[in-house]
With several copies, the nearest count.
Chain A
């Protein structure tokens, strides 16, 4: 179980490969990767976070997922700082004996990271900068868990 909050890029392929190789007893590994979508003339993104809280909050969410779905292992990497379109923002990986648990835990983690981990995204476009507004659909997504 590992959580990393970092400004540096991460090596997605290497992370998925080593997570999977280390998940002894797992029959199913799910990974999710979030990417800065280069649409609407986006030129960049700045991710602010709350250093004193971010790591702790994600650890708590991950521990909850591991416990609830009996995961063999779980991983969350989330970047902050300046990101260019096409760059990977974050990833989660879950390993479980069966696929249903690995999928559910990964979706749960994503729904919670979206609305409960202290990150704020600011988008840059030619016209200026603007904070990304939280979506009602993301808040609603939490209700299924």
Chain B
């Protein structure tokens, strides 16, 4: 089980801020594929992966990063701080 968090418009499109997910995916990209297969709202949120960022256990990562040992995955649009 892994905690999956969504922020900003990713959160709005999926309709929830976080959920616990049972996954056998080896990488972030594999997890995204599983989520997209679930429901249209996930497919809509992840339609353009280049418009998204991912953090693994609160550190920025790539979509091909492995999920082994990861407890928290967060998906969000490019940051707009400052």
- Given a CB threshold of 8 Å, the question of whether A touches B is answered with yes
- How far apart sit A132 and B81, CA to CA, in the bound complex (Å)? 10
Other-chain residue from B5, B9, B76, B79 in contact with A114 (beta carbon distance below 8 A): B79
Structural contact, A134 and B78, CB atoms closer than 8 A: yes
Chain A 4-46 per-residue mask, 1 if CB under 8 angstroms from chain B, else 0: 0000000000000000000000000000001000000000000
From A52, A110, A120, name the one whose CB has the most chain B CB atoms within 10 angstroms. Answer: A120
Report whether over half of chain A's contact residues are helix, strand or loop; otherwise say mixed. mixed
- How far apart sit A89 and B80, CA to CA, in the bound complex (Å)? 12
Q: Which residues of B contact A132 (CB under 8 A)?
A: 80
* A105-136 CB contacts (< 8 Å) to partner B: 110, 113-122, 131-134
In the complex, A82 has a CB within 8 A of chain B: no
Other-chain residue from B9, B11, B72, B79 in contact with A117 (beta carbon distance below 8 A): B79
B residues whose Cβ falls under 8 Å from a Cβ of A? 5, 7-9, 11, 55, 58-60, 72, 74, 76-82
